[in-house]
Each structure stands twice: as C-alpha cells, then as structure tokens.
Homo-oligomer: A and B are copies of this chain.
Amino acid sequence: MPTVRVTRRAHFCSAHRLFHDEWSDEKNREVFGDCSNPHWHGHNYVLDVTVEGPVDPETGFVMDLKAVKGAIDERVVRDVDHRNLNLEVAWMRGIRPSTENFAVAVWDRIAPVLPEGVRLQRVFLRETPNNSVEYLGPEGGDR
C-alpha cells in the first residue's frame, strides 16, 4: 500500500501578546516590539494538519478527512477560536504564545488522538500573510 500524506486546513481568530513576565516593559518592547502591546492584538490563523499513512484499500483513504477535521475542531479550534491565547487556553498555560510554541502545542493536542497506523507528519501555522511556522514533531527536526 502506498504511503500518502493528507492535509486538512482550518481557520480561526485569536488575540494574544508576546511578553516575558520577568522582564521590564522596556526589555519586552525591545525584544517583542509591537507584539508585546499590553492591550493585545490578534490574528486570523491558518492551520494545516498533515497526517501520513498507508492508503486503506477498502476506502481509498489514509484517514477519513472528516475525522481529521473533527480532531482539529475538538482539540484545537474550539479552544482557541475567538479566544485569548494567553488567558483562556488551558493547554497554552505557561507557554509564551509565539507561533513556534503554538505549533508545538497543537502537535501535542492532535498526535495522541490519531488512529493507529496514521502518524502526524506536520503542523503548519500561518500567523500573517508573510509569517508562518511548521513543526515536524519531536523526531522530525532533522529532515
């Protein structure tokens, strides 16, 4: 059976800010610029979740995309859409919501709920039209 990658895209809108609570306001502004604004800002995030596995000969699917969509909605979108990433997302508590950290956290939300035989290959997160991040998992760094 050939191994294929399947990607499902989702959209959501969140507020956040970047800051380090042990740093002065000056240092926060120096490192994070406008992203440290204490009154928040926000983004329309684009999230691509890619899973990889053999194609099931009965269905022609690696995994039903409705199930991938379901996992993304229940494990990620429901918690972050129209929410504040710093204040309201239990699984982001204590994590600075940079796009990098956010992508890793999304990986940790999706990977455990995939069916056997299917592995999470990539989490891609676009924060603005020009800025994006991808995470290939704890063993994916050297590819």
- Contact surface of A with B, Cβ cutoff 8 Å: 2-11, 13-16, 18, 20, 31-35, 37, 39-44, 52, 55, 58-62, 64-66, 69, 81-84, 87-88, 95-101, 103-104, 128-136, 138, 140-143
**A142 CB, min distance to chain B CBs, angstroms:** 8
Closest residue on chain B to residue A129 by CB atoms: B11
12 A/B residue pairs, CB under 8 Å, sorted by A:
A2-B141, A4-B133, A4-B135, A7-B133, A8-B131, A13-B43, A37-B83, A41-B42, A41-B82, A44-B128, A52-B141, A60-B100
Most buried by B among A3, A8, A11, A101: A3
Q: Is the CB of A84 within 8 A of B6?
A: no
Give Cα distance in the complex from A33 to B16, angstroms: 19
Residues on B with C-beta less than 8 A from A8 are: 130-131
Interface of A: prevailing SS: mixed
Give Cα distance in the complex from A9 to B131, angstroms: 7
Closest residue on chain B to residue A45 by CB atoms: B44
Q: Is the CB of B43 within 8 A of A5?
A: no
Residues on B with C-beta less than 8 A from A15 are: 15, 39-42
Residues on B with C-beta less than 8 A from A100 are: 2, 4, 6, 55, 60-62
